[in-house]
């Protein structure tokens, strides 16, 4: 559900003629060129989470042909200036108007701060005189310095944007922004490119184009060479070159007689390339995002399944250590058992507890857990159990028992396995499992202790080099090893076959 953002208004000043006389904008700097801030209607698509926002300029008209592009680029590539350049072209601003309009409120040099306040911004521009409207999805946080985990969050935000009734349901182009002088792609950029490809699949390849900023108008040999070397899938022209467009990013530079000719050439280059972009967007090459949404949801389900399996494998390893500890204790105290004496032994035992996640980062707090299996089924979950991605046909695809969603709860808590050292006597061990209706403090298998007790009685009559309980422990250890192997195999199948076995 969308929520409205109250825009930060500034005091208006006198405005120059022509465009400024009928555009809804506020003068920020008299220039030249005069710099204006467009007044936009601002809403959060994701409600109170406030991580996906939409800024709309003009009156939305569903009759207009709307084009949607996704902008991706490293901080400092010039994405913010490029977005404003596109908007000015759509508004019909000319160089001689000595005006420049911006829809963003952030400059490129502080773009990093935007990544920390709002992950995704959707800019919509509807100009009455223009038959085409433009929607730009800006992902400023996609390549910030907070690490790869932050990038994964952007995928989650995109899911919200694509799945919301008031969100985006198709895309016409994916535009990678980079400097024309760049001669290599960083590891972070390569990661970003492949992350986007993994979101949309290989069929998006023909929609991927490059926007080169800070260009002097010459052939961007270095940048194209870097793209080819990195083997980035993208749209190609007749010469098998990556389709690209050139921009200078100097549209709002202060003008004087000395540099007017250079700035005019830069402006004209931007106009020419924007015209080519819109011509490209005229092609019937639109991609529905429904399949992308399905892929993203399926991926989240697979990640949840693998995460759960890793936790279960870890639990099996803890159980193996526990049983090994009992086995060693019995070997060490065999004579005392045979003499019917109580003896003390120390072991590490595991206890599963539900703990609060309030101290974790806000995005990671919500967990969907199974109360029956006592397992974490879906971390970072913001849906009710009945709507959670890991539920299929009303049952969980993750937990051991594949329980009904009604047995699950979404809350700021999760299950963790804690270990502690305890000292017990054999007699105390026996009494603990003879109690009726009480859950033992330790987490060992009841049958193991029953066998230990029986073995204790037998040891009164005979002496053996290897007791049956030890044999039982060996069998139990083998059983746990097999269970661990089974879980590892299940995880392998899920990863390699894309969840076909779930």
Please report whether residue 372 resides in a domain: no
330 and 207 inside one domain? no
Q: Measured in Å, how far apart are the chain's first and last C-alpha atoms?
A: 32
* Residue 200 included in any domain: yes
Q: Which two tokens stand for residue 130?
A: 């223009």
Do residues 248 and 329 both lie within one domain? no
Residue 421 has pLDDT above 70, yes or no: yes
pTM value is: 0.66
Final residue of a domain: which of 242, 267, 288? Answer: 288
Task: Provide the pLDDT for residue 474.
Answer: 56
Indicate whether 142 pLDDT > 90: no
Say how far apart CA 314 and CA 326 lie, in whole Å: 19
Where residue 502 falls among pLDDT bands split at 50, 70, 90?
very low
Same-domain status, 154 and 278: yes
User: 102-111, 369-378, 486-495: which has the highest mean pLDDT?
Assistant: 369-378
**Which H, E and C letters describe 449-472, residue by residue?**
HHHHHHHHHHCCCCCCCCCHHHHH
Pick 439 or 396 by higher pLDDT.
396
Edge-to-edge strand list for the sheet holding 408-411: 375-379, 367-370, 408-411
- Tell me the sheet residues that pair with 344: 425
Rounded mean pLDDT, 14-23: 53
Q: Of 86-95, 106-115, 165-174, 352-361, which gets the smallest average pLDDT?
A: 106-115
How confident is residue 452, by pLDDT bands cut at 50, 70 and 90? Answer: low
Q: Work out the angle between the directed axes of helices 468-496 and 290-332 (0-180°, nearest 10).
A: 170
Task: Check residues 351 and 408 and name the one with the higher pLDDT.
Answer: 408
Q: pLDDT value at position 59?
A: 86
Beta-strand ranges (E) seen in 17-159 are: 25-29, 34-38, 41-44, 52-57, 65-73, 99-102, 120-125, 132-138
Give the dihedral of Cα atoms 449, 451, 452, 455; nearest 10 deg.
160
pLDDT of residue 18: 54
Contact 96, 18 (CB under 8 A): no
Residue 375 lies in a domain: no
Task: List residues bridging with 35 in a β-sheet.
Answer: 29, 100
The pLDDT score that the predictor gives to residue 283 is 77
Q: For residues 438 and 348, which has the higher predicted lDDT (pLDDT)?
A: 348
Q: Is residue 253 part of a domain?
A: yes
Higher pLDDT, 12 or 213: 213
**Would residue 39 count as lying in a domain?**
no
Q: How many domains does the chain have?
A: 2
Can you give the pLDDT at residue 272?
Answer: 92
**According to the model, what pLDDT value does residue 374 have?**
92
23 in a structural domain: no
Task: Judge if 213 and 312 occupy the same domain.
Answer: no
Residue 466: the pLDDT is: 40
303 and 284 both lie in a single domain: no
Residue 315 and residue 279 share a domain: no
155 or 484, higher pLDDT: 155
Query: 42-56, 120-134, 456-470: which range is least confident on average?
Result: 456-470
User: Among 119-133, 267-281, 461-475, where is mean pLDDT lowest?
Assistant: 461-475
Q: Highest-confidence range of 13-27, 156-170, 235-249, 317-331, by mean pLDDT?
A: 235-249
Sign of the torsion angle spanned by Cα atoms 154, 159, 162, 163:
negative
Inter-axis angle of helices 290-332 and 148-163, nearest 10 = 130
* Mean pLDDT of all residues belonging to the chain: 76
- pLDDT of residue 113 exceeding 50: no
> By the 8 A CB rule, do 64 and 100 touch?
no
In the predicted structure, residue 207 carries a pLDDT above the cut 60: yes
Token pair of 481 as six digits = 């090893």
Task: Looking at the structure, tell me whether residues 168 and 188 fall in a common domain.
Answer: yes
User: Mean pLDDT over residues 25-52, rounded?
Assistant: 86
233, 319: one domain: no
pLDDT band at 305 (very low <50, low <70, confident <90, very high): confident
User: Cis (ω within 30 of 0) for the bond into 314?
Assistant: no
Question: Of 269, 288, 307, which one is at a domain's C-terminal end?
Answer: 288
Does the residue 28 lie in any domain? no
Q: Percent of the chain scored above 90 by pLDDT?
A: 21
Lowest mean pLDDT among 106-110, 117-121, 146-150, 307-311: 106-110
Of 485, 442, 477, which Cα lies nearest the Cα of 352?
A: 442
Is residue 222 located within the same domain as residue 333? Answer: no
pLDDT tens for residues 219-278? 999 999 999 888 888 899 988 899 999 998 877 777 777 788 888 888 899 999 999 999
- Separation between Cα atoms, residue 447 and residue 150, nearest integer Å: 47
Q: What is each CA distance from 91 to 39, 102, 272, in whole angstroms?
A: 14, 11, 15
Angle at alpha carbon of residue 161, lines to 192 and 118, rounded to 5°:
70
Query: How confident is the model at residue 403, as a pLDDT?
Result: 94
Same-domain pairing of 278 and 310:
no
Q: What is the CATH number of the domain that holds 73?
A: 3.40.50.300
**Using alpha carbons only, how large is the chain's radius of gyration in Å?**
32
**Where is pLDDT greater, at 196 or 268?**
268
CB atoms within 10 A of CB 155: 17
CA–CA dist 111, 40 (Å, integer): 19
More confident residue, 227 or 20: 227
Q: Region of 461 please: left (phi>0), alpha (psi -120 to 50) or beta.
A: alpha
In a domain, 10, yes or no: no
Task: Map tokens 């926007």 to a residue.
Answer: 211
Give dist(CA 7, CA 3) in Å, integer.
13
Strands 65-73 and 173-179: parallel
Total length of the chain = 502
Query: Which of 501 and 369 is assigned the larger pLDDT?
Result: 369
The mean pLDDT value for 57-70 works out to: 87
* pLDDT score recorded for residue 408: 95
Weakest-pLDDT range from 121-130, 329-338, 466-475: 466-475
Q: Residue 105, class by beta-carbon neighbours within 10 Å (0-12 exposed, 13-18 middle, 19+ buried)? A: middle
What per-residue confidence (pLDDT) applies to 342? Answer: 67
Q: Are 257 and 224 in contact (CB under 8 A)?
A: no
pLDDT at 480: 59
> Do 331 and 184 share a domain, yes or no?
no
Are both 307 and 165 inside the same structural domain?
Answer: no
What is the mean predicted confidence (pLDDT) over 407-430?
A: 82
Domain boundary (288, 321, 343) is at 288
Q: Which residue range forms the structural domain that includes residue 210? A: 56-288
pLDDT tens, residue by residue, 143-167: 444 555 566 677 778 878 888 888 8
pLDDT reading at 141 higher than 80: no
* pLDDT score recorded for residue 482: 65
Would you call 358 exposed, middle or buried from its count of C-beta atoms within 10 A (0-12, 13-18, 19+)?
A: exposed
Q: What is the pLDDT of residues 373-410, one digit of tens each?
A: 999 999 888 788 988 888 989 999 899 899 999 999 99
Most confident of 219-233, 416-430, 445-459: 219-233
- Concatenating the DSSP letter of every residue in 141-180 gives GGG-TT-HHHHHHHHHHHHHHHHSTTS--EESEEEEEEET
**Residue 316: which of 502, 445, 448 has the closest Cα?**
445
């Amino acid at each position: 559900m969308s929520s409205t953002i109250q825009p930060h208004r500034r005091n208006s000043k006198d405005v120059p003629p022509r465009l400024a006389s009928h555009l809804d904008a506020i003068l920020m700097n008299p220039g030249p060129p005069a710099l204006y801030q467009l007044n936009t209607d601002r809403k959060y698509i994701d409600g109170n989470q406030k991580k996906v926002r939409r800024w709309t300029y003009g009156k939305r008209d569903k009759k207009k042909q709307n084009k949607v592009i996704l902008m991706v680029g490293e901080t400092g590539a010039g994405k913010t200036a490029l977005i404003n350049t596109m908007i000015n072209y759509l508004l019909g601003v000319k160089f001689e108007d000595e005006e420049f309009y911006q829809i963003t409120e952030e400059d490129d040099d502080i773009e990093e701060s935007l990544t920390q306040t709002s992950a995704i911004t959707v800019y919509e521009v509807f100009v009455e005189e223009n038959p085409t409207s433009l929607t730009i999805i800006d992902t400023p946080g996609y390549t910030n310095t907070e690490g790869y985990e932050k990038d994964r969050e952007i995928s989650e935000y995109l899911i919200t944007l694509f799945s919301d009734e008031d969100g985006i349901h198709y895309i016409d182009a994916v535009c990678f922004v980079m400097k024309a002088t760049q001669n290599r792609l960083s590891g972070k950029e390569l990661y970003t490119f492949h992350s986007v490809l993994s979101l949309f699949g290989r069929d998006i390849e023909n929609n991927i184009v490059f926007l080169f900023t800070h260009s002097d108008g010459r052939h961007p040999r270095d940048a194209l060479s870097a793209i080819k070397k990195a083997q980035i899938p993208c749209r190609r022209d007749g010469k098998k070159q990556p389709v690209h467009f050139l921009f200078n990013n100097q549209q709002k530079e202060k003008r004087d007689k000395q540099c007017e000719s250079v700035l005019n050439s830069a402006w004209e280059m931007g106009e020419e390339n924007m015209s080519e972009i819109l011509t490209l967007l005229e092609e019937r090459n639109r991609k529905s995002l429904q399949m992308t949404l399905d892929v993203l949801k399926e991926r989240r389900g697979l990640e949840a399944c693998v995460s759960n399996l890793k936790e279960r494998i870890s639990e099996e390893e803890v159980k193996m250590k526990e049983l090994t500890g009992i086995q060693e204790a019995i070997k060490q105290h065999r004579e005392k058992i045979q003499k019917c004496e109580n003896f003390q032994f120390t072991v590490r035992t595991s206890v599963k507890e539900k703990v609060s996640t309030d101290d974790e980062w806000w995005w990671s707090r919500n967990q969907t857990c199974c109360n029956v299996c006592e397992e974490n089924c879906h971390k970072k979950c913001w849906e009710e159990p009945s709507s959670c991605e890991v539920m299929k046909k009303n049952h969980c695809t993750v937990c051991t028992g594949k329980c009904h969603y009604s047995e699950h709860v979404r809350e700021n808590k999760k299950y963790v396995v804690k270990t502690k050292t305890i000292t017990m006597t054999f007699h105390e061990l026996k009494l603990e499992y003879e109690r009726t209706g009480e859950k033992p403090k330790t987490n060992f298998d009841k049958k193991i202790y029953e066998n230990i007790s029986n073995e204790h009685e037998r040891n009164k009559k005979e002496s053996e080099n290897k007791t049956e309980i030890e044999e039982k422990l060996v069998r139990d250890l083998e059983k746990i090893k097999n269970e661990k192997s089974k879980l590892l195999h299940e995880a392998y199948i899920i990863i390699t076959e894309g969840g076909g076995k779930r």
